[in-house]
Amino acid sequence: MSDALPCLVQVAVSTPAHSAVGDLLSYACAAPLAPGTLVRVPLGAREVLGVVWDAPAEPLPLPAGMAPRPVAGVLEGIAPLDAAWRRLVAFTARYYQRALGEVALAALPPQLRELTPEQLARRMRRPAVGAAAQARESATESVALSAEQAIAAAEIESNPGPFLLFGSTGSGKTEVYMHCVARALAASPAAQALVMVPEINLTPQLEARFRARFAPLYGEVAVVSLHSGMTNPQRLKSWLAAHQGVARIVLGTRMAVFASLPGLALVVADEEHDASYKQQEGARYSARDLAVWRAREQGAKVILGSATPSLESWHASSPEVGRYQRLAMPARIGAGELPRLRLVDMGQQPRGAVFSPPLLAAITERVERGEQCLVLLNRRGFAPVLHCHDCGWKSDCPHCSAHQVFHKIDRTLRCHHCGYAQRVPRACPACGNPDIAPVGRGTEQLEEQLAALLRNVITPGRRAARVARMDADTTRAKGALEEQLAQVHAGEVDVLVGTQMVAKGHDFRRITLVAAVQPDGALFSSDFRAPERLFALLMQAAGRAGRDAQYVAAQASPPEMWLQTWHPDHAVYAALRRHDYPAFAQQQLAERREAGMPPFAYQALVRADARTQEAAQAFLQAAADAARAAQLPGLEQVFIFPPVPLTVQRVANVERAQMLLESPGRGALQRFLAAWQPLLHAERARHRALVRWLVDVDPQAI
């Protein structure tokens, strides 16, 4: 080693996935660097961002004749990332079977990964806006809590948790969160709170409420957001504010769980049941589970909130397990009532009816009184497929084993898996028949049909009824979501048609009727979590109705949830009719206990993508055989299922297969997966047709 660079540091960098390069790389530097320091280092022909890591107890020797490359620069304007953040990253990488550097660098803002030390120094020289002076604690008590809210808040304040806040839709869970945040911030001038929601579309209204409450007390910069809908400069600004302690409250989606929060005192995961908390690319972490781990590790309190908790959280809060403390808030604020469920047996309705006559009459009556309605269909587009009745042709995607969805508004066929789009053909490409027809329904078709059915309906304002649609297509443009939500809140929309994105978290004050048009598909899914997801979706959707007790009291009839089904006697709908989540959860947990499913067992998926289905399954089978031959630790408690294709087995011309691993013990599964990694890397080198492979721990979809 050169005399000019006497120090050796271990740096976490993002290496290519499954490259089998070690977690930490050694670099030379002129002076010791504290763990957590951000540095620019050479990696191959590139210069990349790295994080100086804690030196291992026994550093690995450098290969003979190889000298460490020098650190290219230090980002001196940013204080080192603290030990708690590094422990979080290390745990995530270890538990979810990913490289340490991959997790560490993915947890940092994208723009930070690109800035040189000189560029960062120029940015840091810009004048910073300081937070407002500490306000009186009493100033945060601007809203009086109900009796149930006060009991829940008092329990959270006096006990360590973790807490599962089981509150019905409209029970005021957000107000409890805000009360607890206020108490945490008032307790210490350095305290910070992290509040997470599952989806970006829930952040605007949440940010507005938190900013209105806390910005006058702590300054505008004290409340920041972190989610993928922000620009890279915005994300960097929010991240720096949190890292420096200027931001007292961070609101965000799952990525926010990795925010650098030196003073973390409280973590909230709202709608904790939502599958969106599980990352589906790269390191497939669960932000909800990491929130619980991080809070415990940093000595912070954590609140998981939901009207329909995940069965894992419900089980953890049961008296026999007792890992979480369950707090119940069954009543709605203002003595409002939960919507009545009206089941419509579609077997008794006119053939081919999209909206049954009773439902259409109910929607018409509500609109004529000036009330708003919400229609739920969890499928966007106009129709799932175009079909030729002469020859049987369907609008299949040429690159995926899935149909292209018909979007009438721009006359395109679009694959929702790979993104391939093309114009709608004038005639059947196979036989020339000009009469090709849409089959099935999407939100676009529902919007069109409902607008036609309500064209003669007049509101109290003497105008025609207005129907709007909210889904991933209509909210794609920047600002479109906020604009649409504002229109609904202002009463400019009478009937809102949408996918699941409108069914959760939104506080629509004038909606008194919610209708689910085609919910039956999930009843018979091969995914054992499908009933849980359906119940949660429908109960959350029902919760959008009748949220303003005073408004409902002034109307002629109570709020309602209409559900059109071919299976009105199904157990899921029976529990939904009673708004009885505990009974539904008890029945589902009994079935899972008997079948040995989570939360009574632990699972991991190994997925392989290859040029052919045979190659993908051959890799998985060879990896399983290698594990058995090596008698890996924990193998005796791990059951390896045979490899099978995914439901959509080909996406973007890549074949996909998966293999399920199951174990009654989390520790045994983790020991097995850790020991299996070298064998998976070795098998990867032997299977040339393999494109990539990944391990998904605690998968949410099988």
Residue with tokens 């809060």: 317
Could you tell me the two tokens for 410? 């721009």
Specify the pairing of strand 690-697 against strand 602-610: antiparallel
Annotated binding site: 388, 391, 397, 400, 415, 418, 428, 431
Beta strands across the sheet bearing 412-414:
405-407, 412-414, 421-423
In this structure, what are the phi and psi dihedrals at residue 363, rounded to the nearest 5 degrees?
-65, -45
Q: Distance (Å, rounded) from C-alpha 34 to C-alpha 51?
A: 10
Show the beta-strand stretches assigned E in 352-458: 372-376, 385-388, 405-407, 412-414, 421-423, 436-439
Per the DSSP assignment, residues forming a β-bridge with 441 are none
**Contact indicator for 116, 77 with CB cutoff of 8 Å:** no
CA distance 29 to 45: 19
CB atoms within 10 A of CB 396: 15
Using DSSP's 3-state secondary structure scheme, residue 158 falls into helix
What are the C-alpha distances in Å from 243 to residues 13, 160, 661? 20, 25, 38
With CA atoms as reference, report the closest residue to 207 among 187, 230, 185: 230
Show Cβ contacts of residue 107 under 8 Å, excluding neighbours closer than 6 positions: 89, 255, 258
118 closest CA partner among 76, 80, 79: 76
| Amino acid symbol at 483 | E
The identity of residue 138, as a single letter, is S
Task: List residues forming the annotated binding site for Zn(2+).
Answer: 388, 391, 397, 400, 415, 418, 428, 431
Given its phi and psi angles, is residue 305 left (phi above 0), alpha (psi -120 to 50 degrees) or beta? beta
